Chain A
Amino acid sequence: QVQLQESGPGLVKPSETLSLTCVVSGYSISSGYYWGWIRQSPGKGLEWIGNIHHSGGTYYNPSLKSRVTISVDTSKNQFSLNLSSVTAADTAVYFCARLENTWQPFDYWGQGTLVTVSS
């Protein structure tokens, strides 16, 4: 059974960088598939952030592209999200998820982690 688990600070100061990691179990990232990040806030609903292939190829939401970096570490079977220059508008529950192809739906999701941006 594929399982994903997000981890990272629950509180980030404005203008700093939000960093989250998603550890995958039950499936080897290097075997294939794409891996993505989605966030959910009361104001904006569900928002796709970006996807990464195990080879390192990335696809980002154009509205966030200038601030987002997604990377993969196949040796640790995990992938990560960095979002720079955060503001209160970046406060959300952040989910990691799996998708078969970057133009496919998300079939497995992590439980999500709440990140609050506040001083």
Chain B
Amino acid sequence: DIVMTQSPDSLAVSLGERATINCKSSQSVLYSSNNKNYLAWYQQKPGQPPKLLIYWASTRESGVPDRFSGSGSGTDFTLTISGLQAEDVAVYYCQQYYSSPQAFGQGTKLEIK
């Protein structure tokens, strides 16, 4: 099974600053035949389901603000939030959908400093 590990577990960033969350997979999630990384990022606010932000490691879901960006390939990935806003306070999860069982990271809690 592929294990997803996020860092840090929690993060406090000032409004307007940049937040960076890392995700590492125990095996590569890059599918060589289509050169796609099977990696997604979700945002979850209290009492709500996760919301898809990014898929294929760097493609923003429709309606997601462009301050959210994803990067990385193979086993190392990053979610960057540029210009943090108060509404971005949430827990963020990465997910690999490359192989069964699909797996999520443990989550990173983002707060305002």
Contact = CB atoms under 8 A, between A and B. Distances in A.
A105 interface: yes
Nearest to A108: B52
Nearest to A103: B97
A103 B95 CA distance: 11
A109 B50 contact: yes
Contact of B52 (A63, A95, A106): A106
A59 B55 contact: no
A42 B111 CA distance: 19
Contact of A109 (B49, B55, B101, B102): B49
Contacts of A7: none
B74 interface: no
Interface residues of B, number: 22
B55 A104 contact: yes
A17 to B, nearest CB: 22
A11 interface: no
B106 interface: yes
Nearest to B62: A107
A48 B98 contact: no
Interface of A: 45-48, 59, 61-63, 95, 97, 103-107, 109-112
9 contacts: A45-B106, A61-B101, A61-B102, A103-B98, A105-B40, A105-B55, A105-B97, A111-B49, A112-B49
